[in-house]
Amino acid sequence: MTFTKRLRDGVRSGEITCSVRIWMSPRVTVGKRYQMEEGEIEVDSIEPIGLPDITPELARASGFLGVLDLLKVAKHGKGDRIYLVRFHYIPPSARLRTQRAEG
């Protein structure tokens, strides 16, 4: 799961913990981790939502100025299904501690 450059600092700081994506089908799995250039995000939940569910508040919580700003970025490919993905960021140092404890 990738984020536009302007959102990455917010994801790393924990300010952004959700993302609206428009896909043909889900592209992430709950419980899995996805690499960022620094650290990872772990998906906490994914749920289908409708266009009316994309409120200005949700857009701002996702790191955007508003609904139109979000919609310009959210669509990936030919998809027409809208998903709300909730996640948390795992910094590189925490990821290494987890790997050592599991290993």
Per-residue model confidence (pLDDT) at position 95: 53
Lowest model confidence (mean pLDDT) among 13-22, 62-71, 88-97 = 88-97
Tell me the three state secondary structure of residue 44.
strand
Query: What pTM does this model have?
Result: 0.86
- Domain of residue 56, residue span: 5-102
CATH number of the domain within which 39 lies? 2.30.130.30
Tokens of 12: 């790393």
Q: How confident is the model at residue 91 (pLDDT cuts 50, 70, 90)?
A: very high
Q: How confident is the model at residue 19 (pLDDT cuts 50, 70, 90)?
A: very high
- Asked if 32 and 42 count as a contact pair (C-beta separation under 8 A), the reply is yes
Give mean pLDDT, residues 24-44.
Answer: 94
Element at 89 (helix H, strand E) = strand 81-90
Structural domains of the chain, count? 1
pLDDT exceeds 90 at position 102: no
Q: How confident is the model at residue 54 (pLDDT cuts 50, 70, 90)?
A: very high
